Amino acid sequence: MIARDGERMLVSGAVTLDGVAALLEQGRTQILDGARVVDLAGVTELDSSALAMLLAWMRQAKSCNRELALVGFPEGLTAIARLYGVDGLLTAAQPDPANHH
């Protein structure tokens, strides 16, 4: 499920192959509507399709000449990204805590 709080997309529940297509489209719509932050803190279950979804959203944002920040990373997602060798792409999308007061 995706909820919206200003420029923040709040992703919650399971992000697995069973439901990722619907989430992918909801997220694309939110990005076109100005979302700039994806908050994953509410994700309860995930698989590699979550990684594919995030990379697609990042491409969507880039096509709109915007950056998409990723926050609230579940540990499992970091492990999957590392396994596929794309953890650097996701790390670059995480805001630098030193820049936040």
Evaluate whether 38 touches 12 at the Cβ level (below 8 Å). Answer: no
- Reply yes or no on whether the pLDDT at 76 is more than 60: yes
The confidence band for 16, taking pLDDT boundaries of 50, 70 and 90, is: very high
β-pair type (69-71, 2-5): unpaired
Across the chain, mean pLDDT equals: 90
Only one residue has tokens 């979550």, namely 50
Lowest mean pLDDT, pick from 29-33, 36-40, 76-80: 76-80
Give the CATH architecture of domain 2-93. 2-Layer Sandwich (3.30)
pLDDT (mean) for 66-74: 91
The confidence band for 97, taking pLDDT boundaries of 50, 70 and 90, is: low
- Reply yes or no on whether the pLDDT at 100 is more than 50: no
Which contacts of 25-30 are long-range, i.e. CB under 8 A and separated by 24 or more positions? 26/2, 27/2, 27/53, 27/57, 27/60, 28/56, 28/57, 28/60, 30/2, 30/4
pLDDT for the residue 92: 67
> pLDDT digit string (tens) for 77-90?
888 999 999 888 87
Domain regions of the chain by residue span: 2-93
